[in-house]
Chains A and B, each alone.
Chain A
């Protein structure tokens, strides 16, 4: 069965420090992986995606994510966190058997403290 796991409900990081939000997945075939961000009382905004090629994907707002096939992970990273990065982050995956639908993680709340 296809699935996405975001093992941390919440991640706390001090402003200026690097941040990592974890995501692992299980799909049939090659995965198509996505990260979205949701600010309070807003819709989901696309950050970045991995389709194929370079394992390091760069996205919006200085975020990047590293695809690791052997560990079936797609962790979201940023070298230096900003208070404005505080939000809810969702990882999602689409595989061959998904009927074109995204399989979503439960979300990770990221809190950046000044």
Chain B
């Protein structure tokens, strides 16, 4: 009964490769998010997306692109991976209201060699 799930849990890859991380939520939420947590544990919002709008953090390189096949899924595609992309990536979901809680997936640890 996992509410927000991500695959894979670990991803090790070479510089220059293209990879995807998948996220699914079964909470019926309208909005999904991708976060990056760096080695110092800082959380940085990368994208938020619902069926109306994609909001992109302007600091995110355009090598990162979210893809949503339907309301329950928001995948993260990364082109031309760089060493600095190594981090833990978290997917989250919530309803649209200001008071609504975000629920997080377990994270994907990406290591770029």
Query: Using a CB–CB distance below 8 Å, which chain A residues touch chain B?
Result: 32, 34, 36, 38, 42-46, 49, 51, 88, 90, 94-96, 98-102, 104, 106-107
Contact = CB atoms under 8 A, between A and B. Distances in A.
B104 A100 contact: no
A45 B101 CA distance: 10
Contact of A43 (B31, B33, B99, B107): B107
A96 to B, nearest CB: 8
A74 B11 CA distance: 37
Interface in B90-112: 90, 92, 96-99, 101-107
B55 A94 contact: no
B: contact size bracket: 20 to 34
15 contacts: A32-B98, A32-B99, A34-B102, A44-B43, A44-B104, A46-B102, A49-B99, A94-B98, A94-B99, A95-B98, A99-B48, A100-B98, A101-B33, A102-B102, A107-B41
